[in-house]
Homo-oligomer: A and B are copies of this chain.
Amino acid sequence: MQRYILTLRCPDQPGIVHALAAGVAQAKGNILESAQFSDPGTGVFTIRVCLETPEADTENLRDELTLRLARFDPVLTVRPEEQRRRVLLMVSKFDHCLVDLLYRWDLGELPVDIPLIVSNHPDLEPVAKRYGIPFVHLPVTRATKPEAEAELLRLVARHQVDFVVLARYMQVLSDDLCRRLSGRIINIHHSFLPGFKGAKPYHQAHDRGVKLIGATAHFVTADLDEGPIIEQDVVRVGHRHTAPELVAIGRDVERIVLARAVRLHAEDRVVLTGSRTVVFA
């Protein structure tokens, strides 16, 4: 038996689940887990299904389902569960998110393939080497940014990357790149958005005297720190913590929130609907 993960997004109307279930039944499939949500605000229908079937040919299954669902104008993904999403990691100098993601990946916690790590600095190459992952140093200056981003797009294409993860990558991406990889870049911002956007959020948090600090994993859009949120969490802090201590405490939240977001997206549990996400956690 082959296990597939299937997601579908389309304008809501009656009959979608029936058509989908008919397609699954036709393939002698059994639905093991499914979650569906129709957003009353946007009228968008979303579903994620995990199913088992003797049908071993993904194309056949996809064609069959596409045919039955065509009239709903769906965005449909069909993926054999063991065919992992391909993720390109981008970093700068801070290593805590990268180290954490690679540790989890190595242990089997993160069901992804990592064909490549890209950085605007050479510092973290040894970390990549330790795990046997190719590392590309792609420096970015104001002058070279267009070429660097073009090269990034080539790497994404060449390595058949499903999505990019900015694991504390400290360069702002151009609007054009954000558009081209729309819905395919996850960033970790080191604050509980929408509080403390922009630079040095922990210092902002310290000055403001907040009692909790947080981190936010979100899709990247041209609007900095305004992309659709995937996951957030917070941790309690107190008056005795200095800004540098907030930075240290925050590292824990950052890496946990980012790892959760990457895992959720790798398992096709995150569906983007406009400026918000549906997360079938």
Which residues of A line the B interface, CB within 8 A? Answer: 12-18, 20-22, 24-25, 28-41, 96, 99, 103, 107, 109, 192-196, 207-212, 214, 228-234, 238-240, 242, 248, 251-252, 256, 275-279, 281
Contacts of A38 in B (CB 8 A): 30-33
Q: Which of B193, B238, B278 is close to A239, meaning CB atoms less than 8 Å apart? A: B278
Contacts of A25 in B (CB 8 A): 14-15, 18
A45 and B95 CA atoms in complex are apart in Å by 37
Per DSSP, chain A at the interface is mixed
A12 and B234 CA atoms in complex are apart in Å by 32
> Known interface pairs A109-B248, A211-B231. Does A37 touch B33 (Cβ–Cβ under 8 Å)?
yes
Total copies of the chain: 4
Contacts of A208 in B (CB 8 A): 193-194, 229, 275-276
Contacts of A232 in B (CB 8 A): 210-212
A211 and B230 CA atoms in complex are apart in Å by 8
A22 and B279 CA atoms in complex are apart in Å by 27
User: Could you show 28 A-B contacts with beta carbons less than 8 Å apart?
Assistant: A12-B32, A13-B30, A17-B17, A18-B22, A18-B24, A18-B25, A30-B38, A32-B38, A32-B40, A33-B36, A33-B37, A34-B34, A34-B35, A34-B36, A37-B239, A96-B107, A99-B103, A109-B248, A192-B195, A193-B210, A194-B196, A195-B195, A207-B276, A209-B229, A211-B231, A211-B279, A212-B232, A252-B256
Contacts of A33 in B (CB 8 A): 36-38, 240
Contacting pair A209 B276 (CB below 8 A): yes
Contacts of A109 in B (CB 8 A): 248, 251
Contacting pair A210 B239 (CB below 8 A): no
Contacts of A212 in B (CB 8 A): 192, 214, 232-234
Q: Which of B31, B40, B234 is close to A242, meaning CB atoms less than 8 Å apart? A: B40
A107 and B196 CA atoms in complex are apart in Å by 25
> Known interface pairs A208-B194, A208-B229. Does A34 touch B17 (Cβ–Cβ under 8 Å)?
yes
Q: Which residue of B lies closest to A256 (CB)?
A: B252
A240 and B280 CA atoms in complex are apart in Å by 10
- A82 to B: closest C-beta gap in Å: 16
- A41 to B: closest C-beta gap in Å: 8
